[in-house]
């Protein structure tokens, strides 16, 4: 049996789960999330825990078993605690600011880049003196948060020589040596 799939999902206080056929809806203090589950995978609520089971040991069923268990666990964590990601802008003159859901980035191009973020995401920008500008994203939906963070990072990926670009806080970049000294 799948190690991830067989573990039941504990429900924290204040989280409600509604299982309607192949639709699983999780409601909590941070919001409501829903996920459509494959018809072969059975999701049930037993003694305050969500249990995901599969009909056979086929490779496809094993893969779906672990996948849907992980997705539902992410939904439960999202509506109870939420997810946060931080990104840093490394480079001279790189700036970030936001007005509501509009994120304005100055990344060394001839123009500023403006992104409108989904309403589910809460955005904060910080620019402290002596530190790189930071973008802090918070959301209950881990998938949406990851997609938006990847989109922001793709606007100026960190380059390997000086490390300039948008990187996740704590991310270790693989650096390259520059040109070597002149040859004799």
pLDDT for residue 143 is more than 60: yes
Tokens at residue 44, please? 């049930």
pLDDT digits (tens, 9 = 90+) for 50-98: 999 999 989 999 889 999 999 999 999 999 999 999 999 998 989 999 9
pLDDT digits (tens, 9 = 90+) for 106-142: 999 999 999 999 999 999 999 989 899 999 999 999 9
The percent of residues above 70 in pLDDT, for the chain, comes to 97
Question: What is the model's pTM?
Answer: 0.86
Output the pLDDT for position 1: 46
SS3 135: strand
Could you give all domains of the chain from N- to C-terminal order, each with its CATH number?
3-80 (3.90.930.12), 83-168 (3.90.930.12)
């Amino acid at each position: 049996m799948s190690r991830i799939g067989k573990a039941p999902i504990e429900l924290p206080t204040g989280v409600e789960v509604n299982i309607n056929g192949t639709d699983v809806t999780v409601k909590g203090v941070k919001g409501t999330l829903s996920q459509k589950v494959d018809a072969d995978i059975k999701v049930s609520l037993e003694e305050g825990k969500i249990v995901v089971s599969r009909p056979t040991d086929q490779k496809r069923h094993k893969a779906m078993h672990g996948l849907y268990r992980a997705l539902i666990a992410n939904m439960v964590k999202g509506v109870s605690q939420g997810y946060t990601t931080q990104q840093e802008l490394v480079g001279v003159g790189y700036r970030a600011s936001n007005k509501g859901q509009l994120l304005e980035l100055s990344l060394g191009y001839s123009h500023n880049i403006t992104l409108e973020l989904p309403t589910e995401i809460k955005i904060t920008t910080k620019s402290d003196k002596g530190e790189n500008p930071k973008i802090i994203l918070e959301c209950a939906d881990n998938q949406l948060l990851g997609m938006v963070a990847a989109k922001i990072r793709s606007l100026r990926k960190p380059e390997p020589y000086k490390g300039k670009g948008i990187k996740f806080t704590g991310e270790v970049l693989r650096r390259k040596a520059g040109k070597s000294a002149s040859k004799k």
